[in-house]
Structure 1
Amino acid sequence: MLINFRLEYLSRYSFLFLLISIISVKTTFAQIEDSAIIKSDSLYRAGEYQKVINLLQNRLVTAQSKKEKVIEIVIYNSFGKAYSQLGKPVEALKNYQIALKKAETDNEKQQSGKILKNIGALYEEQKNFSQALTFYERAQNIAIEIKDESLLADCYNNTGIIYEQQLKYDLALSVYKKALQIYQKLQKTDRIALSLNNIGIVYKYLGELPKAIEYYNQSLIYSEKLGDKFFVAANLNNIGNVYALLKNYPKAIEFNTKSLKIAESIQATNIVVEAYGSLAEDYEGLGDYKKALYFKNKYTKVNSDYINVESAKQLAEMQTLYQTEKQRGQITALKQNEQINSLKMARQELLIQKRNYQILFTVLVMMIFISSGYLYFQKQRVKQKREQRRAILLAETNERSRIAKDVHDDIGSGLSKITLMAGMVSHKMQANGVEVGEINNITQISKDLVENMRDLIWVLNPQNATLDNLVARIREYCSDYLEGLSVKSDLAIQDEIPQIKISQEVQRNIFLTIKEALHNCIKHADCHQIFIELVYKNDLLTFHIKDSGKGFEMNELKKSGNGLKNMQQRMQTIGATFKVNSVLGEGTSVKTEIKLAQLEKAVA
């Protein structure tokens, strides 16, 4: 079974970013009449991203020689957008940073706002929502300052996507419609198409599927009129996915096949990946396991080439380097002033000592020399130990990342093939009237292993060892696990979580405990309602899971086989409190608390 991550999320990041990027370029062209840039806009619309880069590289040389500063900003921003569409986020961020630095230096606020928004979209693609929101907020402040309604509406659109990820569909629908009103007021056809598509996505997640198709079709009409192949491919895939939810697999295959053909023609890798995944699921739903396996293999190959597990790490490192470079000039100036003042004082002391205390000065110089030598060697020893610790930590981090990638590429691909092949065998055996109980067991076990493998990959990745990432993963896991079940769920998971570094031991034990508790509620409690609460307040993380199931006698706790002992041991290992309360016939409650000091314990 493929990851339940349809094109609505991945391609929406891309085409939202792409459409708004095209519009930003067109707005700039209204002010800058430059043939090369105007031609690059046409190529961009046609999905010829590499040709955009090739064309503007020559134009950049001329702009630099003639010191055309605004042209340079536009070109570097265009490089960032093209690299993003080619699936190269690190190269995209590098060019955005150059454009932003030049725009801020020249006080080009409108360009700064657009670049900040684009960087936010890039981080949003990496699911780094806290960074994305930071850049969106900066862009929105500039939009309000310069009264740029179009940029403000773009920020509404991007924020709406984050609300969707946080399952705040009402808020997402509200900001999307707010953006649509502005676009309609400004008569921006491109943006209207974009907003219609986003509104359709929200209705899809609200379960109003006919209304979702209605908005997708409206957006498709606009995108076809615009000649925007990327947006057309994204719309077609979105419509196909809704038909899949309606179990109309032939219709789903029709739309997803059209989407794949267009995406391949413009080399839109992210849509190609999702189209392969969609078709694999469509054919699996149709019972054609041979074609499902074919498209699954296509999906695995293209996806492994497209996704780089180190991308998020490199993006973070580049952002840090960029901020450091901005401050370097100020730091250098301060050091120079301090050195000048120190020299003046030293010269004064030298004159005084030479006049009055020549012997004392000589002794003092010798003492200073000895002390300096001692301090220097001590400093070198400390520095050497620090570097050794960093090298060890880096080696561990790289090894964890390598293990996660190997597990994903090798074991994950193999398990997915086992699942599909077992499904094919089960289908054939059922057709011949043969008992398929064991084959079905193999299918279920392999699916469970795939899910556990994904959790293992996530836990192994050092970049995920932060409190906000942990809470986001818990929210995502609970939503995915409960989706489609008859159990009524009430999620009260805090939205704003600080970005605190936590130890991987804490991260692993908390996540696995919540996973085990949720599993017990569904598999053993026979409940019809689940309440899940997760709150971080006053340096204390609290999570509470309560079900309305059959419960059990508390004096039978020691004999319980529901995994409660394992959960209790996990929490004790990381210094957390763990409380269980159950009433026969009324349900079970599990509550645990852990302090900030324990969250950060053992973090290097």
Structure 2
Amino acid sequence: MRILYSTFFTGFWLLNGLLVGVATAQVPKSLDSVMVYLKTHTSQDTNYVIALNVMGRELHEKGNPDYNRADSVLRVSEKVALKLNYGLGLSRAYTNLASIYYLTDKPQQAVEYFQKALTTAENFKLSPRFICGAISNVAAALSKLQQYDKVVAMQLRSLRLQERYNVQPRIATTYGGLGNAYRELNKPKEALVYYEQALALMRTEKNTRGMAIIENNMGICYDGLKRYDKSLASYRMALKHAEEVDYELLQADILVNIGLALKLSSRFKEGIPYVERSLAIGRKQQNKGTMATAYFNLGQIYEELKDYKPAEENLKKALELARERANKEQIANYTQGLADLYGGMKNFQQAYAYQLEKNKQIDSTMVVRTSAEVQRLVAQYKTEKKEQEIKLLRQQAQLREKELINKRLQTNALLLGGALLLLLGLAISAWLLNRSRLRRLEEAQALRKQIAHDLHDEVGSTLSSISLLSGMVNNLIAQKRPESVERAILKINTDARQILEAMDEIIWTINPSNDSLHRIALRLQEYAQPLMESKHIQFSMVADPTLDQLPISMEIRRNLYLIGKEAITNLVKYSEATQATMWFDHQKGQLTVVIEDNGRGFDRTQPSERTGQTSMQQRAKAMGGSLDVQSAPEQGTRLVLTTTIAG
């Protein structure tokens, strides 16, 4: 799983080509000397801008970064460069500001400022090498947004410009950026080709820091190819280079990757000291992201060793730090890690709790996954249930088929014994009868499928929840935890009540005695009245007296009821109305159902918090009718359903 690796350094080194060096030897390059220079250099000229850029870069890149101070210095540099119309200084100021956003996990702002640096460089016609490097920086920020196809396009654009203007030597960061993109696109072999070219250029430039990051990324590729001997060699070389330039956060990243490569090689105990060294650096730097990554990976290694206590402690610390940073991706991953850990420990109650928390971070329609064991049981239950349903359907189909064959044989016997004139009549009658029976058989099959679908949707998931909770109750009783038992039983009662309500609706839908529009109107009134009263909405129902003599099919009745129910639910939840009306009208074979309120309404052209409109439109279309929703802000809402009903 790639989530085990820190991705902090996969693209940042791309900035180096633009951030190192200055345009004149008059400006010092170290932080201390440049601060002295700025105090004595009072004239706000181009050298002043260059010095500010050097100071801003040093403040956010070296040792313990001071991002706020760096930002303030670079804002001054931007302002003075604009005043002087100094393109190179302005572009470098934008580049440094972008790198701060990059390092503080604000990739969208990083893209914006890298693009400003590129546009400035193009407008001021700076050197082709500078422009090509600026393109690569935009690609680096896009990589953080996981837009890897765009990254490849931008880096190839940079390479084409380098070839057109014969930029020498080629920019190593462009090749490294392509390597990163192909690696993220799960093409490690293609990535390694570009990493090798980037590494060769870095060696020529004697860029030790860049070499460290390249070697680290190559190690990740070799891990993806399961060549752990190669990955460990790359990581150790990367660590050597990172130590040479005293780049501690990069060292922390590499140390975690070494620990993971050893874990993937089943050398679990060997990996622990490396990850602990990474954690120590994170604490020293007070970098919560680095610490969270280290805690999580330590927890996973201890889990592999079946040493569950330190595994639990480290995973919980990782989750706590992720919550402090409000990192949704890490929160989801670390919560899942704890759910899996408790599943392996057979502590299904805790596994269930963390799995529910994880599911809040992802799409609510996904099935709850508690642990490997619970998954197996749920899957087995569903498989057995489906097999029973299939077996029952087959038996019913065979009985129907035998019945149909017997009836056909009887009809044929009568036809053979009749006169020629009667033969023709009986043949016609048999054909019509057979078609009618087939239609009834098809309708019966469709009804069974619909009932099975409704039971699965309305009841199946709730039964699964009751099954899991019931299994937990025994453990809770054994643990003498009456409050937890009471909550679990309350949940089971609630779920059971929901099942009864769902079953009641399904039974009402298929009951032939309800095959009239009048019964639907009464049912909707019974559903709406208590909901309206709970919101103090004055509700009235107007129905055409002839509705009681209008029979309709089960399918139309079902869709009509569900449309009305959804409309009433939305009205009660969102309209803030004081009055609401529903009326049924039947004129010349056309049924019109109107539901309207005097509430706040909504703008049809804007996204609405009201739900189910697409579903209602589909159901209206299935009935052969149409649904028109009329609404405007502060002017209420009116739903008009029309369909053809034979009178």
- TM-score in terms of structure 2 length: 0.48
1:465-503 CA-partner distances (Å, limit 9, x unpaired): xxxxxxxxxxxxxxxxxxxxxxxxxxxxxxxxxxxxxxx
State how far apart, in whole Å, the 2-side matches of 1:204 and 1:294 are.
Answer: 27
Structure 2 residue matching 1:15: 3-state secondary structure:
coil
Determine the structure 2 residue equivalent to 1:37: 53
Residue type of the alignment partner of 2:53 = I
CA RMSD, Structure 1 to Structure 2 (Å): 4.6
State how far apart, in whole Å, the 2-side matches of 1:458 and 1:111 are.
Answer: 49
* 1:440-589 map, 5 Å: 456=363
Structure 1 pair 273/151, CA: closer, same or farther in 2 (3 Å)? farther
* 1:11-50 map, 5 Å: 11=7, 14-28=8-22, 33=27, 34-43=50-59, 44-50=61-67
Structure 1 residue matching 2:226: 3-state secondary structure:
coil
Any conservation in 2 of the 1:196–1:215 contact (CA below 8 Å)? yes
1:524-564 CA-partner distances (Å, limit 9, x unpaired): 9xxxxxxxxxxxxxxxxxxxxxxxxxxx9xx999769xxxx
Determine the structure 2 residue equivalent to 1:431: none
Residue type of the alignment partner of 1:190 = R
Determine the structure 2 residue equivalent to 1:83: 101
Query: Which of 1 and 2 has higher RCO (CA within 8 Å, sep 6+)?
Result: 1
Structure 2 residue matching 1:5: 3-state secondary structure:
helix
Any conservation in 2 of the 1:86–1:269 contact (CA below 8 Å)? no
For 1:300, which of 305, 311, 319 is the aligned residue? 319
1:363-409 CA-partner distances (Å, limit 9, x unpaired): xxxxxxxxxxxxxxxxxxxxxxxxxxxxxxxxxxxxxxxxxx9xx96
Structure 1 pair 559/168, CA: closer, same or farther in 2 (3 Å)? farther
Determine the structure 1 residue equivalent to 2:133: 114
* 1:84-103 map, 5 Å: 84-103=102-121
State how far apart, in whole Å, the 2-side matches of 1:199 and 1:558 are.
Answer: 56
Structure 2 residue matching 1:456: 3-state secondary structure:
coil
1:42-88 CA-partner distances (Å, limit 9, x unpaired): 33132515143233333334333333321121011101111211222
State how far apart, in whole Å, the 2-side matches of 1:158 and 1:179 are.
Answer: 9
Residue type of the alignment partner of 2:70 = V
Any conservation in 2 of the 1:22–1:41 contact (CA below 8 Å)? no
Q: Quote how far apart the aligned CAs of 1:127 are.
A: 1.6
Q: Quote how far apart the aligned CAs of 1:208 are.
A: 1.7
1:554-601 CA-partner distances (Å, limit 9, x unpaired): x999769xxxx99xx9xxxxxxxxxxxxxxxxxxxxxxxxxxxxxxxx
Structure 1 pair 135/38, CA: closer, same or farther in 2 (3 Å)? same
Structure 1 pair 176/280, CA: closer, same or farther in 2 (3 Å)? same
1:245-268 CA-partner distances (Å, limit 9, x unpaired): 233333322111221232343455
1:316-358 CA-partner distances (Å, limit 9, x unpaired): xxxxxxxxxxxxxxxxxxxxxxxxxxxxxxxxxxxxxxxxxxx
For 1:238, which of 257, 261, 269 is the aligned residue? 257
Structure 1 pair 138/31, CA: closer, same or farther in 2 (3 Å)? farther
- Unaligned stretches of 5+ residues in structure 1: 310-404, 427-438, 461-515, 525-551, 570-601
Any conservation in 1 of the 2:152–2:178 contact (CA below 8 Å)? yes
Determine the structure 2 residue equivalent to 1:188: 207
Any conservation in 2 of the 1:40–1:55 contact (CA below 8 Å)? yes
For 2:74, which of 53, 56, 61 is the aligned residue? 56
Structure 1 pair 280/104, CA: closer, same or farther in 2 (3 Å)? same
* 1:121-200 map, 5 Å: 121-148=140-167, 152-200=171-219
Aligned sequence identity (%): 20
- Unaligned stretches of 5+ residues in structure 2: 28-49, 368-374, 396-448, 454-613, 615-647
Aligned residues, how many? 369
State how far apart, in whole Å, the 2-side matches of 1:67 and 1:45 are.
Answer: 29
Determine the structure 2 residue equivalent to 1:73: 91
Structure 1 residue matching 2:212: 3-state secondary structure:
helix
Determine the structure 1 residue equivalent to 2:233: 214
Q: Quote how far apart the aligned CAs of 1:445 are.
A: 6.9
Residue type of the alignment partner of 2:4 = R
Any conservation in 2 of the 1:86–1:268 contact (CA below 8 Å)? no
1:9-66 CA-partner distances (Å, limit 9, x unpaired): x42xx32433232343114567894333334443313251514323333333433333
Any conservation in 2 of the 1:116–1:136 contact (CA below 8 Å)? yes
* 1:316-327 map, 5 Å: none
Q: Quote how far apart the aligned CAs of 1:212 are.
A: 1.2
State how far apart, in whole Å, the 2-side matches of 1:121 and 1:64 are.
Answer: 26
Structure 1 pair 413/274, CA: closer, same or farther in 2 (3 Å)? closer
Determine the structure 1 residue equivalent to 2:541: none
Any conservation in 2 of the 1:140–1:155 contact (CA below 8 Å)? yes
Structure 2 residue matching 1:238: 3-state secondary structure:
helix
Any conservation in 1 of the 2:133–2:158 contact (CA below 8 Å)? yes
Any conservation in 1 of the 2:335–2:355 contact (CA below 8 Å)? no
State how far apart, in whole Å, the 2-side matches of 1:192 and 1:412 are.
Answer: 30
- TM-score in terms of structure 1 length: 0.51
Structure 1 pair 117/302, CA: closer, same or farther in 2 (3 Å)? farther
Structure 1 residue matching 2:20: 3-state secondary structure:
helix
